[in-house]
Structure 1
């Protein structure tokens, strides 16, 4: 049975390995997909889950359980963490006898599980009942508890080469020059390239983020600290989410600036350090550091 990996951009070796495992019937019961944002982890996961679960879309399959951050009813925004209640409910559903003889669970943003949620998953992850497949997605294996990562087969995704992204965009009808431009702006993330192509509002937001980073790097410290305060919402529950989304946009903006600094060694070094400090800020927020203090520390060090 051939897996429909043809629509996936890049990740040939990963897809081939999953194809072989699926075809041989010797798949692990749990996978942890790790790698940069928007490189294709979710697309590959859903493709595999669709093949395992059979006809129709796995997202509407009665024996498939999806765990995602819930929406806050007051703000209309996603909550910053996956709660223990969500995981317990998912595990209870997952323990039921399946209608199709197969069952699957997909935990998106597994790094957003709090400690209690991660602990609630352990027994199900270690001893799934029946013909079951559990998939988790996270930026890196270090972003989930070691007790979780050690019970999964870790599959690492990497940035996709720009020519592969550009070729995929040309197949979608874009001319070669514009395809190359968007591929360069995506920094190896096909999801970013496709969204830049299809979502004008998103593309405008990325342009604004790029200009903001440029201005902040040239601004005095006091202005940078005011910017950190201005970014934070009053609602404490949404501060981490806003900070993480801001860091994602800034990271793409910094990487875009790197493209124009390849012949300017001092500028490239400064941008490299900024990217490293941005990664530290993100890790700190994911491990419950104050979002505003993390942004302030980053902006001071830019």
Structure 2
């Protein structure tokens, strides 16, 4: 893997190409954009370029005006395996919802150590928008007095979640969703079938990382089962379906935040299903994403009353908001199934 293998992100590539060609690589950058679009991959490739034994970005070497690296020298291979002494990563612990100041401090301390294999010390924080207030504040001292040769990169899906005092000190580099056809091609190259790749490319909103994450959890089959359950929703089984939805999201979840994320994915499946029903009624069959369950889409399109589909879509959008801010997720799901039954069942 190298920079040329990173799909899209033309602006980010041009930004750093310009910085490198003018020898103006800064100390602190914030990579902002949706999860799964290449922020972490780009940060890794940038780090590899700094340490690559080809010497393109190493001090004392003439600039060759490129960000690329060989990806095969010992330095590149160690960075790829997260085993380089001068490149440090910080992740949210599996059992935690936020990065604590205790978790963040070793990363900051590492920036002040003398580099072991070159002139740089690199620190990369994944999911920086989940830094606790204390952890974010502890970074300020490092930002105000950066050590020489240090490079700090924060990866954030929600830029506004970072304190303004942190945001104002960094150069924000934007990362964007990829075109659907590009994501679909990437998924097919990973071995997914065309039908599954087409569906996941549509619902992942330009994020190949999110699409692959769903695929790894057998999300395509999970979607099919969920849609079938809601297509046969009744006044006798609505609470049972809500219970199953809650149980399915919590299976192997490390914490409530992960359960919430999975619930939001499940509601997204339903949104695209009822969206397809709406599009079919508007004679826009070419835009359907649930092609594998087209018969079910057509059957419900004929069965649901006029105006019911639009109301169900509104209810699903409200459910997503409620799941974000309501602590009783089980109650939110019970209300969802009850409201859909009232609209869909005579």
Matched residue SS, 2:147: coil
Q: How many angstroms apart in 2 are the aligned matches of 1:4 and 1:223?
A: 49
Q: Is the 8 A contact 2:267 2:316 kept in 1?
A: no
User: TM-score scaled by structure 1?
Assistant: 0.74
Structure 1 window deviating more from structure 2 (58-67 vs 6-15): it is 6-15
1:68 and 2:124 aligned: no
Aligned length: 286
Q: Greater Rg, structure 1 or structure 2?
A: 2
Shift of 1:228: 7.7
Bigger drift between 273-282 and 105-114 goes to: 273-282
Matches within 5 A, 1:1-302: 4-54=2-52, 55-56=75-76, 57-58=78-79, 59-71=82-94, 78-99=95-116, 100-169=118-187, 179-194=197-212, 199=216, 201-208=218-225, 226=243, 238-251=255-268, 253-255=270-272, 257-259=274-276, 261-264=278-281, 267=309, 270-271=312-313, 274-275=316-317, 278=320, 281-282=323-324, 284=325, 290=327, 292=328, 296-297=331-332, 300=335
Q: SS of the residue aligned with 1:105? A: strand
Aligned mates of 2:233, 2:5 — CA distance in 1: 39
Deviation at 1:93, TM superposition (A): 1.8
- CA distance in structure 2 between the aligned counterparts of 1:158 and 1:212, rounded to whole angstroms: 34
SS of the equivalent of 1:240 reads helix
For residues 135 and 102 of structure 2, what CA distance do their matches in structure 1 show? 7
Distance change (3 Å), C-alpha of 1:140 and 1:196? closer
SS in structure 1 of the partner of residue 260 of structure 2: helix
TM-score if structure 2 supplies the norm length? Answer: 0.66
List alignment gaps of at least 5 residues for structure 1.
72-77
Name the SS of the counterpart of 1:91 in structure 2: helix
| CA apart distance, 1:85 | 0.4
Q: How has the CA–CA distance of structure 1 residues 81 and 214 changed in structure 2, closer, same or farther, with 3 Å as cutoff?
A: farther
1:229–1:209 distance in 2 versus 1, CA, 3 Å: closer
Root mean square deviation, CA, Å: 4.0
